[in-house]
Amino acid sequence: MKKIVFSAAFVVMGTFAMAQQTPMMNKKDPAEMEQKRQEKLKMMQAELNLTSAQVAQIKALQDKKMAERKQNASQMQEQRKAKMEAMKARQEQSNAEMRKILTPEQYQKWETKKQQNMQNKRQKMQQHQMKKMSATK
């Protein structure tokens, strides 16, 4: 029974973690990303003693990979959506099985505890993100 409870909790937490990461990913400024890319190329050039021809080849390779990623983005999004729906279906099935096992009072108590755990995890993740963001600035 503990395995079922923990599995259900991890699935739900994973779902919320992925959902919260998406807005952060969309906030990236293209100009800032290009600037970071240029800085990384300069750093690579200095560390590896690259020629300007090598830097150009690396930049072309990065452009190619970025174009492939953009081309496959919709397919990856569909796959992610399908995985999320499958995870949600498994979660609902698990909840239905728990309803059969527990009394209504026990189930309600279990649900309340699960919600509290999710809230605690969400707060910890937000605190971690804030620490991470302040450390990078």
User: pLDDT per residue over 84-117, tens digit each?
Assistant: 999 999 999 999 999 999 999 999 999 999 999 9
**CB 4 within 8 Å of CB 98:** yes
User: pLDDT per residue over 111-129, tens digit each?
Assistant: 999 999 999 999 999 999 8
**Domain range annotation of the chain:** 35-96, 102-137
Question: pTM, whole model, 2 decimals?
Answer: 0.48
Q: CB-based contacts of 18: which residues, under 8 Å, 6+ apart?
A: 80, 84
Q: Would you call 113 helix, strand, or coil by DSSP?
A: helix
Q: CB-based contacts of 11: which residues, under 8 Å, 6+ apart?
A: 87, 90, 91, 94
User: pLDDT per residue over 50-69, tens digit each?
Assistant: 999 999 999 999 999 999 99
- The answer on pLDDT for 28 being more than 90 is no
Report which residue type is found at 64.
K
